[in-house]
Chains A and B, each alone.
Chain A
């Protein structure tokens, strides 16, 4: 069965600093992977997705993620944090049966001025 682990429930960076949010997955088949963002009191919005094409995936708001099969990782990065990036971020892996997504526990990103 697929699973997702996000390392660090809370990450704090300064404005302009690199953002790195870690995600490791477990899957017995080639995975489809997603990053979602949740702003306070809102639903989840897709940031980017990996569907077995290019290993470096670019998403919205300047975020990108790299799929590394050897490390079973799909870490999310952004070169320069902005105050508006403060939110909770979820990594998810697609499970074939029923088209379900298995979510990690989430990482809350804080951005300091």
Chain B
């Protein structure tokens, strides 16, 4: 299993541009998550999904959109990028059964908006 994979690893955007961060997992996990990590702030949840076709907002959803058309994929869309979206983005997934709450994380995407 490759686990959780994310592309790209790095990206520089200009203000106002858009992009999609890709996330794929091959563990047949039903729950998937997007976090952003800023220095000294821990991880903040952007969006999450409990299954294909179902998404919900997390703590910091403004400026982002998601979709979940398949179990494996959970892309994060940035529209009209702003400097405040400069961050490291992590995708995670979990199976969520029999009290298994452990989340598995991808390697991250480092995004800079200038």
Contact = CB atoms under 8 A, between A and B. Distances in A.
Interface of A: 9, 32, 34, 36, 41-46, 49, 51, 90, 94, 98-101, 103-106
B105 A104 contact: no
B48 A100 contact: yes
Interface residues of B, number: 26
Nearest to B45: A100
- Among B44, B102, B104, B107, max chain A CB count under 10 A is at B102
A39 to B, nearest CB: 11
Contacts, number: 56
A44 B48 contact: no
B45 A51 contact: no
Interface of B: 4, 31, 33, 40-45, 48, 50, 56, 58, 90, 92, 94, 96, 99, 101-108
Contacts of A103: 42-44
A87 to B, nearest CB: 14
Contact of B40 (A32, A34, A36, A106): A106
B7 to A, nearest CB: 13
Nearest to B50: A98
A49 B106 contact: no
Contacts of A9: 40
Contact of A49 (B41, B50, B102): B102
Nearest to B9: A41
A9 B42 CA distance: 10
7 contacts: A41-B108, A45-B105, A46-B104, A49-B101, A90-B42, A98-B31, A101-B101
